[in-house]
Amino acid sequence: MRMRSDGSAPPTGKAEWLSFLVLTLIVLPALAVIFVGGYGFVIWMSQIINGPPVVKF
């Protein structure tokens, strides 16, 4: 078994489950929302600078 960075014992099952749930239920969804929101924000800002999207038929 690998040594921990601070030399402590390997994670317990409890810590592993907690980390798994925090990651999948909170951290990753939050990141996804931030990325999509940030993307929308960047487009919005670019539309303020370049004007609204132009579509010609």
Cα radius of gyration (the chain): 21
Tokens at 47, concatenated: 């539309």
Tell me: does residue 44 bind other proteins (CB under 8 A).
Answer: yes
Q: Are 35 and 26 in contact (CB under 8 A)?
A: no
Smallest distance from other proteins to CB 1, Å: 8
Q: How far apart are CA 38 and CA 19, in angstroms?
A: 26
Q: Residue count at the site for other proteins (CB under 8 A)?
A: 36
For binding to other proteins (CB under 8 A), which residues are involved? 2, 4-6, 10-13, 15-17, 19-20, 22-25, 28-29, 32-33, 36-37, 39-41, 43-44, 47, 51-57
